[in-house]
């Protein structure tokens, strides 16, 4: 217990002294490795991505020891659509999920089980735990840890460290979600789907300017600016203009670096 308490305190000190996502994650990674895990990853999925981008793939922060080929595989096969951990968090669960304990209950679908089968068989992630850290409507965030230990040693690892890594993960996630320029890292799929003109017009509208003023500032016609807004609405799921501006406001689009 003294060891886990020390790791928790070291993490809190490190996290409290930075607002930089990479430095924050390095502190999280160090804590996970010190506790005995092989890899750790974190993702935050804003609801606007789920609503507006078909078959999007979440952005992950991963430890140096994490096999990046799995992230590529995850994106290529659209595993996010069949990841039971995302489904559980989206349903509001904040309880840790031990992958193979869940699989052995016989409650996962074939496609859900395939995600963790691939992680284990193809990428050596013999054991895994996912820890939900945030769930609010369709917004969600969580940490996943893996281990290549034997069943017996992994059980001991879980028993000794789960409470500590759960607290550490939640503190990390709270820091990420509280700092706009940090959590905006996870909006990359949305930003990548927009053209430069779409971004500038949307940013101008979010700042409260009328479309006519935005068009004038960008030296484009009012009609063309209106067509761009219509294109944005269609691109993001045929949403209304009010909904478009609401989503942009939620993610503080006016302050995003474009």
Q: Which residue has the higher pLDDT, 185 or 152?
A: 152
Share of the chain above pLDDT 90, in %: 64
Radius of gyration of the chain (CA): 21
pLDDT of residue 208: 87
* pLDDT above 90 for 62: yes
Residue 149: HSE in the Cβ half-sphere, 13 Å Cα cutoff: 17
State mean pLDDT over 149-158: 95
State mean pLDDT over 79-87: 92
Number of Cβ atoms within 10 Å of the Cβ of 13 = 10
pTM assigned to the model: 0.82
pLDDT of residue 240: 84
CA distance 58 to 231: 24
**Residue pLDDT, tens place only, 174-192:** 999 888 777 778 877 777 7
State mean pLDDT over 233-238: 77
Any residues with CB less than 8 A from the CB of 102 and at least 6 apart, and which?
84, 108
Domains of the chain: 2-186 (3.30.450.80), 194-255 (1.10.10.10)
Q: How confident is the model at residue 97 (pLDDT cuts 50, 70, 90)?
A: very high
State mean pLDDT over 132-151: 91
Q: Assess contact for 98 and 155: CB atoms under 8 A.
A: no
* pLDDT above 80 for 24: yes
pLDDT of residue 258: 64
pLDDT of residue 250: 66
pLDDT of residue 231: 86
Q: What is the mean pLDDT of the chain?
A: 89
State mean pLDDT over 58-74: 94
| DSSP secondary structure of the chain | -HHHHHHHHHHHHHHHT---HHHHHHHHHHHHHHHT-SEEEEEEE-HHHHHHSTT----EEE-TTS-HHHHHHHHHTTGGGG-HHHHHHHTT--S-EEHHHHHHTT-S-HHHHHHHHHHHHHH---EEEEEEEEEETTEEEEEEEEE-S-HHHHHHHHHHHHHHHHHHHHHHHHHHHH-HHHHGGGGHHHHHTS-HHHHHHHHHHHTT--HHHHHHHTT--HHHHHHHHHHHHHHTTS--HHHHHHHHHHTTGGGS--
* pLDDT above 80 for 225: yes
pLDDT of residue 54: 60
**Residue pLDDT, tens place only, 48-59:** 666 666 666 788
Residues 144-176: b if buried by 16+ CB within 10 A, e if exposed: bbbbebeeeebeebbeebbebbbbbbbbbbebb
* pLDDT above 70 for 257: no
pLDDT of residue 136: 82
List, in sequence order, every residue forming a beta bridge with 127; answer none if it has no partner.
147
Any residues with CB less than 8 A from the CB of 110 and at least 6 apart, and which?
none
**Residue pLDDT, tens place only, 35-45:** 999 999 999 98
Cα 245 versus chain centre, distance:
22
In the numeric block, the tokens 């969580």 are attached to: 142
CA distance 184 to 165: 24
Sign for the pseudo-dihedral over CA of 21, 22, 28, 32: positive
């Amino acid at each position: 217990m003294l060891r886990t308490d020390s790791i928790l305190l070291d993490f809190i000190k490190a996290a409290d002294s930075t607002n930089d996502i990479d430095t924050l994650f390095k502190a999280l990674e160090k804590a996970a490795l010190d506790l005995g895990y092989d890899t750790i990853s974190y993702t935050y999925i804003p609801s606007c991505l789920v609503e507006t981008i078909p078959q999007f793939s979440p952005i992950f922060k991963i430890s140096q020891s994490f096999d990046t080929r799995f992230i590529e595989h995850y994106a290529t096969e659209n595993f996010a659509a069949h990841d039971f951990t995302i489904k559980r968090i989206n349903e509001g669960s904040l309880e840790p999920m031990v992958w193979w304990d869940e699989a052995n209950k016989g409650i996962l679908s074939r496609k859900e089980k395939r995600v963790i089968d691939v992680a284990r068989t193809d990428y050596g992630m013999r054991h895994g735990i996912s820890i939900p850290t945030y769930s609010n409507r369709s917004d969600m965030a969580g940490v996943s840890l893996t281990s290549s230990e034997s069943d017996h040693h992994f059980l001991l690892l879980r028993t000794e460290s789960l409470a500590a890594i759960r607290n550490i993960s939640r503190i990390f996630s709270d820091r990420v979600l509280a700092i706009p320029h940090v959590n905006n890292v996870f909006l990359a799929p949305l930003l990548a789907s927009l053209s430069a003109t779409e971004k500038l017009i949307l940013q101008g509208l979010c700042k409260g300017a009328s479309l006519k003023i935005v068009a004038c500032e960008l030296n484009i016609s009012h009609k063309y600016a209106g067509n761009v807004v219509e294109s944005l609405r269609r691109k993001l799921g045929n949403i209304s203009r009010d909904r478009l501006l609401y989503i942009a406001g939620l993610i503080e689009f006016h302050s995003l670096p474009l």
